[in-house]
Copies of this chain bind each other. A is one copy, B any other.
Amino acid sequence: MKIIVLAGGEGKRMWPIQTDKCLIPFLGQPLLYHNLKQIKEHVETPEFVIVANLQSKEKVSNIAQDLGLNFQISIQNEPKGMADAILSAKDLIDGEILVINAEDVLEQGIFKMVSEAGGDVVVPGLQVKHYFPGGYLRVDGDKVQGIVEKPGEGNEPSDMVKLVADYFKDGKKLVEYLEKIVTEKDDQYEVALGQMIKDGVEVKFAKYDGIWFPLKYPWHILDITAYLLSKLEQKISPTAQVSDKAIIEGDVVIEEGVKVFEGAVIKGPCYIGKNCIVGNNSMVRESDLEEGCVTGFSSDITRSYIGANSWFHTNYVGDSVLEEDFGMGSGAVIANLRLDNKTVLAGNDHQETGRSKLGLVAGKGGRIGVNASTMPGVRVGVGSLVGPGVVLKRDLAENKKIVLKEESFEVKDYDSAHTSYDQFRDKLK
**Binding stretch for chain B, among A44-52, A222-230, A406-414:** A406-414
Whether, in the assembled complex, A331 has its beta carbon less than 8 Å from a beta carbon of chain B, the answer is: yes
Establish whether residues B294 and A428, one from each chain, have CB atoms under 8 Å apart when the complex forms.
yes
Establish whether residues A421 and B373, one from each chain, have CB atoms under 8 Å apart when the complex forms.
no
Establish whether residues B409 and A390, one from each chain, have CB atoms under 8 Å apart when the complex forms.
yes
Whether, in the assembled complex, A375 has its beta carbon less than 8 Å from a beta carbon of chain B, the answer is: yes
**Binding stretch for chain B, among A27-35, A62-70, A311-319:** A311-319
Q: Mark A259-291, 1 if CB is under 8 A from B, else 0.
A: 000110100000000000000110100000000
Establish whether residues A411 and B396, one from each chain, have CB atoms under 8 Å apart when the complex forms.
yes
Write the residues of chain A forming the contact surface with B, with a CB cutoff of 8 angstroms: 245, 247, 262-263, 265, 280-281, 283, 292, 294, 296-298, 300, 309, 311, 313-314, 316, 324-325, 327, 329-331, 333, 335, 337, 339-342, 356-357, 365, 367, 369-373, 375, 383-385, 387-391, 393, 396, 399-421, 423-425, 427-428
Tell me how far the C-beta of A318 lies from the nearest C-beta in chain B, rounded to whole angstroms. Answer: 8
Establish whether residues B423 and A324, one from each chain, have CB atoms under 8 Å apart when the complex forms.
no
Other-chain contact of A330, B316, B412, B427 (Cβ < 8 Å): B316
- In the assembled complex, 21 residue pairs joining A and B whose CB atoms fall closer than 8 Å, in A order, are A263-B265, A281-B283, A314-B333, A325-B419, A335-B388, A337-B424, A337-B427, A341-B427, A342-B418, A356-B427, A365-B419, A369-B373, A371-B373, A385-B414, A389-B391, A391-B409, A400-B413, A401-B413, A403-B410, A405-B407, A405-B408
Asked, given contacts A281-B298, A327-B424, A409-B405, whether A367 binds B419 with beta carbons under 8 Å apart, the answer is yes
A-B pairs with the 8 shortest C-beta distances? A383-B416, A401-B414, A316-B330, A389-B391, A309-B421, A331-B333, A325-B421, A333-B370
Docked complex Cα distance between A327 and B373 (Å): 17
- Beyond the given pairs A316-B330, A330-B333, A339-B385, 19 more chain A to chain B contacts, judged by CB atoms under 8 angstroms and listed by A's residue number, are A245-B247, A262-B265, A281-B281, A281-B283, A297-B300, A300-B330, A313-B316, A316-B331, A337-B424, A337-B427, A339-B367, A341-B423, A365-B421, A373-B388, A401-B412, A402-B412, A403-B409, A403-B412, A408-B408
Most buried by B among A333, A404, A410, A416: A416
Docked complex Cα distance between A393 and B428 (Å): 22
Establish whether residues B262 and A247, one from each chain, have CB atoms under 8 Å apart when the complex forms.
yes
* CB neighbours of A324 from chain B (8 A): 421
* CB neighbours of A396 from chain B (8 A): 411
Instruction: Find the B residue at minimum CB distance from A411.
Output: B402
Instruction: Find the B residue at minimum CB distance from A326.
Output: B421
